[in-house]
Amino acid sequence: MLRILLLNYEFPPMGGGAGHASFELAKRLVARGCHVDVLTSGIEGQATEESLQGVRVYRVRSLRRSIQDCGFRGAWSYVAAAQPVCRRLVRGRAYDVVHYFFGLPTGALAVCTPGIGRIPSVVSLRGSDVPGYDDTNRALALAHRVLRPLTRAIWQRADAVVALSASLREQARRTMPECPIGVIPNGIDPSCFHPAQRNGHPAAARVQLLTVARLVRRKGLDDLLRALAILKDEPMHLTIQGTGADEQELQRLAVSLGVHDRVTFSGFRVRELLPPVYQAADLFVMPSLSESFGLAVLEAMACGLPVIVSQVGGMVEYIEEGTNGLLVPPRDPAALAHAIRRLVADAPLRQSMGARNAQKIRASYTWDRVADAYLETYQRVIAWRAKPGGLHARR
């Protein structure tokens, strides 16, 4: 039985896709006979230590802005608070492997925790921890320039580095071309995210558009509102599910564009309550300016929705233009409006795309497949470290 220490500064209900992914992975590793400890951040009222579906979770307090918004203070205060707990766990438990979600900030624990370097390690690159990933965030870009030596040191110390997508891997190689990087995508639980049973009910008068996202500039939701303004005569309604720093600004933009009566800002909803939201929609739209993978897009696909996404990042790797979705250039509301109009006007095409998407997710993108891929990676780095003279699995 492998003993695994999984480190992530975000964990449900904190954060977005990466926190969810770490919990889904941990549960499936436990189901495969592994012992998994998770060291993460928590908020007031949460237990500092508890067992969740067989996963032992340790929480430290960090200076997060909110559940959905970490900020630099939240990220680095996690590292400071987690370091003594991490040191205690490493001393008291015979871990076989340490798994860092995010090179930065989480991977900094590999540098500042005594003794942890003796344990085989895996670093998962998630997006914001890769320099150049988000060019809309100037503060993040500056931080990456300053912390570039630390980023390289963390990747160099790891026995294996894994990216969410081939696109993110190529972005990471601009920082460290000599670093071998594997690819393991996110997954979906098809028992939760699946198409609705329509039971022959008549179609709604208005096509229901949906996006599920953190409301930040990188998601391109201002372009989606502008596209909706172009489509002022089309029978449609948009639901924006999520919250974030740009929520009020987007609401003001909806009013100024005259589309506020065709848009519902539904706020934050825990992931367990999202399937009915997807199932009530007809079409999913994600106009991101950058996206390492797009977990919400996969969730929509699993629920049998056709999708329209920006031609950026990892989303391009699972969308075949015209077959299971439409690809549009980022920052182009007119092109986005054209794609929406096309699918709003063609219900049979929406249905055929949605059916292909549900089948695609069940066949290729499940958390069980993700867990098997990571388990193979753990076993490989452990075996290679055990060889005489073995230090790093990547060498």
Unique residue bearing structure tokens 């991101």: 288
Unique residue bearing structure tokens 């570039």: 148
How many helices and strands, by DSSP H and E, does the chain display? 12, 14
Separation between Cα atoms, residue 357 and residue 318, nearest integer Å: 9
DSSP H helical ranges for the chain: 17-31, 71-92, 109-112, 138-157, 166-173, 221-230, 247-257, 275-279, 295-302, 333-344, 347-364, 367-386
> Mean pLDDT over residues 168-186, rounded?
96
Tell me: pLDDT of 200 over 70.
no
pLDDT tens-place string over residues 296-314: 999 999 999 999 999 999 9
Number of other residues whose CB lies within 10 A of the CB of residue 88: 12
> Mean pLDDT over residues 363-376, rounded?
97
- The more confidently predicted of residues 136 and 281 is 281
Share of the chain above pLDDT 70, in %: 96
Tell me: pLDDT of 93 over 90.
yes
User: What domains can be seen in the chain, in order of their start residue?
Assistant: 3-187+366-386 (3.40.50.2000), 207-364 (3.40.50.2000)
SS3 182: strand
Categorise residue 306: left if φ over 0, alpha if ψ from -120 to 50, beta otherwise: beta
pLDDT of the residue at 395: 42
Tell me: pLDDT of 66 over 90.
no
Q: Which residues of 210-249 are buried (b: 16+ CB within 10 A; e: fewer)?
A: bbbbbbbbbbbbbbbbbbbbbbeebebbbbbbbbbebbee
Average pLDDT, the chain: 93
Tell me: pLDDT of 176 over 60.
yes
- CA trace torsion 229, 232, 237, 241 (10° rounding): 0
Separation between Cα atoms, residue 159 and residue 151, nearest integer Å: 15
pLDDT tens-place string over residues 35-52: 999 999 988 888 999 999
Check: CB of residue 108 under 8 Å from CB of residue 150.
yes
Burial of 351 (0-12, 13-18, 19+ CB in 10 A): middle
Q: What is the CA radius of gyration of the chain?
A: 21
Check: CB of residue 122 under 8 Å from CB of residue 160.
yes
> Mean pLDDT over residues 333-352, rounded?
97
pLDDT tens-place string over residues 220-262: 999 999 999 999 989 999 999 999 889 999 999 999 999 999 9
Name the amino acid, one letter, at 270.
Answer: V
Tell me: pLDDT of 165 over 60.
yes
Tell me: pLDDT of 71 over 60.
yes
Separation between Cα atoms, residue 182 and residue 11, nearest integer Å: 23
Q: Which residues of 30-68 are buried (b: 16+ CB within 10 A; e: fewer)?
A: beeebbbbbbbbbeeeeeeeeeeeebbbbbbebbbeebb
Unique residue bearing structure tokens 């599910």: 241
Q: Which residue in 10, 317, 361 sits closest to 187, CA to CA?
A: 361
CA 332 distance to own-chain centroid = 24
pLDDT of the residue at 354: 97
Locate 123 and state its tokens: 């670093």
Locate 383 and state its tokens: 């075996």
The DSSP bridge partners found for residue 160 are 122
pLDDT of the residue at 5: 98
Q: What is the pTM of this model?
A: 0.91
Number of other residues whose CB lies within 10 A of the CB of residue 310: 26
> Mean pLDDT over residues 50-55, rounded?
97
Separation between Cα atoms, residue 146 and residue 157, nearest integer Å: 19
pLDDT of the residue at 389: 63
